[in-house]
């Protein structure tokens, strides 16, 4: 079955429709109707989904990113499904992945796996990075990961974009996201504290939240920091300008 699947560049010509397109789209509709999750999906079906190059599966793929489990079926299917983006046209994969990063229903699980997919397939697009940096803290963190990747070729436009972030420009984009307010506790009323994004109140001189351990900019101790990416960009720009 997999050997019969081919990527059809043109689905219809002069009113005539390629029969394989109809056949595969019917199969897609049956898979979407039957499988609400990936736990019950057999290896052949997950392989078909991953290699189909059909955008009808996008919703199912993003849903699968939120699923966790230890069942062997899950362990077998999930990696295969996430190869889906490797088989798509590069521009199409970029539009879908970055589009989900910018969507209102992005989940933490999706953020991690989408970032991994972008990195593993080297799907670097600085126009999309610009959109991420203008978004939420979560999308800004995704942009940081992309900015650490190396392109095969750097266009004049790419170089000009990197130059806009030289110096401390990128670091300055990440300001504190906490709220400083007066404590209302019985024994500490009137004292200033800072409230983390998680809702926990911390002493004003605390550098990290006592509850979630994130700092005042919303970064965990193990997360990629703007300073590290800034150093990389500065070094890259210096090398480029020296060529």
Both tokens assigned to 178:
């906490």
Give the mean pLDDT of 119-137: 94
Is 78 within a domain? Answer: yes
Torsion sign over Cα 124, 125, 128, 132: positive
Is 227 within a domain? Answer: no
The confidence score (pLDDT) of residue 3 equals: 36
Residue 60 has pLDDT above 50, yes or no: yes
Backbone torsions φ then ψ of 181, nearest 5 degrees: -150, 175
Which single residue is written with the structure tokens 């750097």? Answer: 154
43 class by beta-carbon count within 10 Å (0-12 exposed, 13-18 middle, 19+ buried): exposed
Is 167 within a domain? Answer: no
CA-nearest of 175, 94, 154 to 129 is 94
Region at 146 (left for phi over 0; alpha for psi -120 to 50; beta for the rest): alpha
Which structural domain range is residue 138 located in? 2-149
Which single residue is written with the structure tokens 């994969």? Answer: 93
pLDDT in tens, 160-181: 999 999 999 999 999 999 999 9
Residue 116 has pLDDT above 50, yes or no: yes
The confidence score (pLDDT) of residue 68 equals: 67
The confidence score (pLDDT) of residue 25 equals: 85
pLDDT in tens, 186-204: 555 568 899 999 999 999 9
Both tokens assigned to 139:
């999308």
Is 200 within a domain? Answer: no
The confidence score (pLDDT) of residue 74 equals: 60
pLDDT in tens, 209-220: 999 999 999 999
Is 22 within a domain? Answer: yes
Is 231 within a domain? Answer: no
The confidence score (pLDDT) of residue 50 equals: 86
Strands (E), the chain: 12-13, 16-17, 179-182, 192-195, 201-203
Is 183 within a domain? Answer: no
Average pLDDT, the chain: 86
Tally of domains in the chain: 1
CA-nearest of 3, 70, 64, 6 to 31 is 64
Give the mean pLDDT of 66-94: 77
Is 44 within a domain? Answer: yes
């Amino acid at each position: 079955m997999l050997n019969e699947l081919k990527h059809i560049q043109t689905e219809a010509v002069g009113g005539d429709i390629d029969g394989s397109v109809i056949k595969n789209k019917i199969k897609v509709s049956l898979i979407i109707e039957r499988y609400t999750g990936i736990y019950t999906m057999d290896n052949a079906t997950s392989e078909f989904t991953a290699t189909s190059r059909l955008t009808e599966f996008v919703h199912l793929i993003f849903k699968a990113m939120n699923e966790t489990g230890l069942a062997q079926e899950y362990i077998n299917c999930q990696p295969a499904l996430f190869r889906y983006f490797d088989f798509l046209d590069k521009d199409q994969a970029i539009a879908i992945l970055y589009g989900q990063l910018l969507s209102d229903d992005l989940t933490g699980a999706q953020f991690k796996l989408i970032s991994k997919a972008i990195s593993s397939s080297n799907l670097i697009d600085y126009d999309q990075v610009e959109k991420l940096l203008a978004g939420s803290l979560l999308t800004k963190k995704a942009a940081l990961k992309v900015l650490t990747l190396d392109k095969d070729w750097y266009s004049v436009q790419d170089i000009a974009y990197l130059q806009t972030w030289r110096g401390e420009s990128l670091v300055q984009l990440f300001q504190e996201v906490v709220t400083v307010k007066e404590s209302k506790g019985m024994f500490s009323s009137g004292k200033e504290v800072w409230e983390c994004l998680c809702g926990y109140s911390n002493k004003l001189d605390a550098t990290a939240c006592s509850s979630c351990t994130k700092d005042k900019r919303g970064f965990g101790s193990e997360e990629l920091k703007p300073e590290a990416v800034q150093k990389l960009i500065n070094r890259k720009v210096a090398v480029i300008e020296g060529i």
